[in-house]
Amino acid sequence: MPWCLKCKSEYEEGVEKCVDCMTMLSEDLVENNEETLNLQSITNKKLLITVGDISEAHIIASLLSTYGIKTIYKHNGSGEYLQIAFAKTIYGIQIFVDELDYKEALEIINNNELEELMESDIADIEALEIAIMKKRIARKRSAMKYILIFAAIIYFIIIATAFIR
């Protein structure tokens, strides 16, 4: 049966054009979702690395995409369900690349660039945490100053009333 690839309508045998879209019909209906396009773009996939969680997978995929290398990642075991339910997986995530890009991708991730990227993210987070802690300490110090000033005023009032009597 012929199909319209644009509007996904099915037609009887013998019809060559879609009456709605005016496009030529095809014998096979191909779903053009993102996963299908990724699988079609990577013909011979090869396992590059297994990482611990989805954020690491996204970092590596992003790094490789800057070099024009397409990636596919797959959860091990029931890891995808754990990721959905608990926002964490204990089985790891496999990252695949095209066999033609494997050596280049391996060089990129074995290069210190990935470690530097992750370390810089960690350093940024640590710097942010330190700044937050410094602000908290400064607020506590100023609160302590006000408490001490208030206590001193109360003390002087008590002493002054004691001398007046």
pLDDT of the residue at 76:
77
From the number of C-beta atoms within 10 Å of its C-beta (0-12, 13-18, 19+), residue 109 rates as middle
How many Å separate Cα 78 from the centre of its chain? 19
Per-residue pLDDT tens listing for the chain (165 residues)? 787 777 677 777 888 888 776 777 777 665 444 444 444 456 688 888 888 888 888 888 888 888 888 888 888 777 666 666 666 777 788 899 988 888 888 888 887 555 666 666 666 777 777 778 888 888 888 888 889 999 999 999 999 888 887
Give residue limits of the domains in the chain.
1-30, 34-110, 115-165
Element (H, E) at 47: strand 45-51
Q: How far is CA 121 from CA 77, 86, 116, in A?
A: 29, 24, 8
Cα–Cα dist 125/138, whole Å? 20
Cα–Cα dist 142/153, whole Å? 17
How many Å separate Cα 43 from the centre of its chain? 25
> What kind of fold does domain 34-110 have according to CATH?
Alpha-Beta Plaits (3.30.70)
